[in-house]
Amino acid sequence: MRIRRDKRDRLAGAGLEAYPVQVPITTTISAVRTSYPELPIDHQTGALVGIAGRVIFQRNTGKLCFATLRAGDGSEIQAMVSLAGVGEAALDLWKDIVDIGDHIFIHGEVITSKRGELSVLADSWLMAAKALRPLPVVHKPLNEESRVRQRYVDLIVRPQARQVARTRVATVASIRKSLDARGYLEIETPMLQTMHGGATARPFVTTSNAFDLQLFLRIAPELFLKRAVVGGLERVYEINRNFRNEGADSTHSPEFAMLEFYEAYADYRVMATITRELIQAAARAVFDSEQVTHPDGSVHDLSGVWPEVSLYEAVSTALSFEVTPMTPHDKLRSYCDAAGISVEPTAVSGKLVEELFEHYVIESFDGRPTFVMDFPVDTSPLVRDHRTDIGKVEKWDLYINGNEQATGYSELVDPVIQRQRLTEQAALGARGDAEAMQLDEDFLRALEHGMPPTGGVGLGIDRLLMALTGLGIRETILFPLVKPER
Partner RNA sequence: GGGUCGCUAGCUCAAUGGUAGAGCUGCGGACUUUUAAUCCGUAGGUUCGGGGUUCGAGCCCCCGGCGACCCA
**Interface with RNA by CB under 7 A: which residues?**
3-4, 57-64, 66, 68, 78, 80, 82-84, 99-100, 113-117, 119, 134, 136-146, 148, 247, 249-250, 340-342, 359, 472, 474, 482-486
Please state, in angstroms and rounded to a whole number, the distance separating the CA atoms of residues 415 and 427: 18
Helix axis angle, 461-469 to 159-181, nearest 10°: 120
- Write down the least CB distance from residue 255 to RNA, Å: 14
Nearer to RNA, 132 or 444 (CB): 132
What angle (nearest 5°) sits at the alpha carbon of residue 190, between those of residues 189 and 194?
Answer: 140
Q: How far is the CB of 301 from RNA (least distance, A)?
A: 21
| 304 conformational bin, left if phi > 0, alpha if psi -120 to 50, beta if neither | left
Nearest to 221 by CA among 181, 254, 262: 262
What minimum distance in Å lies between the beta carbon of 428 and RNA? 20
Neighbours of 374 (CB within 10 A): 22
Which of residues 134 and 304 has its CB atom nearest to RNA in the complex?
A: 134
Least CB distance from residue 57 to RNA, whole Å? Answer: 3
Of 20 and 136, which CB lies nearer to RNA in the complex structure? 136
Name the minimum Å distance from CB 341 to RNA.
Answer: 5
- Asked whether the beta carbons of 282 and 171 are under 8 A apart, the reply is yes
As measured in angstroms, the least distance from the Cβ of 481 to RNA is 8
How far apart CA 164 and CA 472 sit, in angstroms, is 11
Tell me how far apart the alpha carbons of residues 82 and 66 are, in angstroms, rounded to a whole number.
Answer: 9
Are the beta carbons of 221 and 258 closer than 8 angstroms? yes
Q: How far apart are CA 102 and CA 95, in angstroms?
A: 13
Residue placing its CB nearer to RNA in the complex, 86 or 393: 86
Measured from the CB atom, the residue of 116 and 453 that comes closer to RNA is 116
Contact by Cβ (8 Å): 207, 192: no
Spatial distance between the Cα atoms of 196 and 200, rounded to a whole number of angstroms: 9
Q: Which is nearer to RNA, 245 or 324 (CB)?
A: 245
Query: Tell me, what amino acid is at 87?
Result: G
Minimum distance, C-beta of residue 369 to RNA, in the bound complex (Å): 18
Do the beta carbons of residue 25 and residue 50 sit within 8 Å?
A: yes
Output 110 or 179, the one with its CB closest to RNA: 110
What DSSP assignment string belongs to 440-465?
-HHHHHHHHT----EEEEEEEHHHHH
Q: Report which of 166, 466, 461 is spatially closest to residue 286, judged by C-alpha positions.
A: 166
**Nearest approach, Cβ of 136 to RNA (angstroms)?**
3
| Nearer to RNA among residue 30 and residue 194 (C-beta) | 30
Q: Which is nearer to RNA, 431 or 486 (CB)?
A: 486
CB of 217 to RNA, least distance (A): 20
